[in-house]
A and B are shown apart, each in its own frame.
Chain A
Amino acid sequence: MRRFSISILVIALALASTGPTLAQDSVRLTGSGATFPFPIYSTWFKSFSGKSKSVTVDYQGKGSGAGIQDFLNRTVDFAASDAAMTDEDMAKIPGGVQLLPMTAGEIVIGYNLPGSPKGLKLPRDVYAGIFLGKITKWSDAKLKAANPGMTLPDQDITVVRRADSSGTTFVFTTHLSAISEEWKKSHGAGTTVNWPKSDKIVAAPKNDGVTATIKQTPGSIGYIEYAFAKFAKVEMAELQNKAGQFVAPGGDGGPAALASVQLPANLRAWISDPEGAKSYPVATYTWMLFYKENKDPKKAAALRQLVEFCLTEGQKMSHQMGYIPLPENVVSVVRKSASSIQ
């Protein structure tokens, strides 16, 4: 896998080095990183490259960790990460790093039940209990109490999780740690965690793998990105938020969750358990990482153009593609911060 992506990188670099000879003033930007925003980033970059004739952007969705590695090795012009970047890593870049949240997404709990009933309601202790392996039957009393009128089968719950390490798992387990002391103590948060050992917890690679496994397994439940659930038509549960309300994903819940969190100066904020009656409980920003000091002023200018495009044109595409548009106040903060890319 890694060797494959390295060979792609080599080809990309080879192409990049031949670029300037073709047209003197054209700029080619390369980036790599998170796969979760890959669909929207590739759409953005394609339309940006189409609009501005002199700048082309290549982005490879290798995973957040690999993106940060490339960024540290200075083999890319920018990177993208669902887990932002740690202070420790940021200190390794002379001149400094500018983190910019570019879009946001929701993580949903998808399920597969006979007759595909819509709008399963999951209270906080129940979905924490399911992923802890404590609640193992669909006919559990707590599930029945939360969903009167829904016929729940006397069937085992099969939990589907991510097999690879991923930003999705990081965000979801951060949320579980915020709502359940027991989860925090025994499993914690991370891009991969030590899952409870059970025959009813299976793992599949990538968002698409988990989605396919949920679709193929009656009685299963699992966490995936909203966009994947939406396009694969997986039923999504309504989750109970901090205020006690049940909120379905894909509506106003995402923007409300973003609005509930104040961005700090470094623009790195985790929405582990948002306040507010309307907030959908599992949402996250995803970031692009830029060097504050670029060697080539032309590249820096192109990067600023790119950010501006994503903030204006880009945000209009977000909702339709299954992502959350950034709130107005966040857009203006990001725009201001982008000027530090020099």
Chain B
Amino acid sequence: MKAFELDQSARAGSVSGPPTSWDDVADRTFRGLARASVWLILLLLAFILWSIGGKAWVGMREYGVGFLTSTTWDVGKQQFGVLPQIWGTFYSSLLALVIGGFFGVVMAIFLTQDFLPPRLAQVFRTTVELLAAIPSVVYGLWGLFVVVPAMRPVANWLSEHLGWIPFFGTTLSGPGLAPAALVLAIMVLPTVAAVSQDALRLVPYKVKEAAYGMGATRWEAILKVMLPAAATGIFGALVLGFGRALGETMALAMLIGNSNQISLSIFSPANTLAALLALNFPEAGPREVQVLMYAALVLLAITLVVNLIGESIMAISARRAGVRR
């Protein structure tokens, strides 16, 4: 800011000269551009919604609400329903969030609460962020060739001995919900860890010093003071991670087994909306395209709502922490 002012005044020839007409034009142009960009983004979102909605309209009229509650996807008989996909989308994302969320928050505590020398913490932070740079299809291949074979004996032992629990009701043969959710958990980890770290850093250091001053131990300070203070932010991080998990496509298409069924067992194959879309578009006939657009709209609505909730929680937490974001 300072450098900019100096630069400006140097051009104007005196320390406190009025803005030149060039400054005025530049200022206006920049403001116009910025405003146009913002509107463009809004328009783009509206346009995407409008164009998908337009194509989905026929399907929506034909299949109505029954589309969301029926379980058959049969192109030959022209019967379409996405309840198993909605179920699978939420179930896999929730499982991923439980695993990824736990590790993400623990990692955020570890990296922000002075457990490590700052330089080492930075190395860890970068490593976690690198996880976000791995392409989805690579995660899928890794899941297929590493996670599934590794998980199979454990899963089959669980279903043999604890099969009376509905979550372990079936054996894991190959692709299924559990390996998909595990890989998904790794994929949402960077999001959760990064946003939770921000939330924890937003808590003023004074708060922690005050806790220590009252004789709290390190863990008491973290669990009873820091975490509650950052709770809304961390919750927002979890919701954002959830939103990311909902839309994940390729890794899931490769790992989840793409079976249109609703089962509580985490070892049975399932399906997700994103996988359904990715796998059926290329060969879809005109009618199928309409219902796929309808399914796309459903997915879009779910992710938009989840992300809106996440963002508003984050906004609330930032306001509480007294920092403007």
Contacts and interface: CB of A to CB of B under 8 A. Distances in A.
Interface of A: 1-2, 5, 62-66, 156, 158, 160, 163-166, 188-195, 197-205, 209, 212-213, 216-217, 219-220
B269 A203 contact: yes
B254 A64 contact: no
A202 B176 contact: yes
Given A164-B282, A193-B74, A199-B173, 12 more contacts: A65-B284, A164-B280, A165-B283, A189-B76, A194-B74, A194-B76, A199-B268, A203-B257, A203-B269, A204-B258, A205-B253, A217-B174
Contact of B278 (A1, A192, A217, A220): A1
B287 to A, nearest CB: 12
**Residue among A63, A199, A213, A216 facing the most chain B CB atoms (10 A cut-off):** A199
B283 A209 contact: no
B285 interface: yes
29 contacts: A1-B281, A5-B282, A65-B282, A65-B283, A65-B284, A156-B171, A163-B253, A163-B275, A164-B279, A165-B288, A188-B76, A188-B77, A189-B76, A190-B76, A195-B259, A197-B260, A199-B263, A201-B269, A202-B173, A202-B258, A202-B259, A202-B269, A203-B258, A204-B254, A204-B258, A205-B253, A213-B144, A213-B175, A220-B174
A163 B279 contact: yes
Contacts of B278: 1, 205
A298 B97 CA distance: 60
Interface bin, chain B: 35 or more
Nearest to B170: A199
Interface of B: 72-77, 79, 144-145, 148-149, 170-171, 173-176, 253-254, 257-261, 263, 265, 267-269, 275, 278-285, 288
B259 A190 contact: no
A-B pairs, top 9 by smallest CB distance, nearest first, are A217-B174, A203-B258, A65-B283, A194-B74, A158-B173, A163-B258, A202-B257, A165-B283, A164-B279
B275 to A, nearest CB: 7
Contacts of A158: 173-174
Contacts of B288: 165
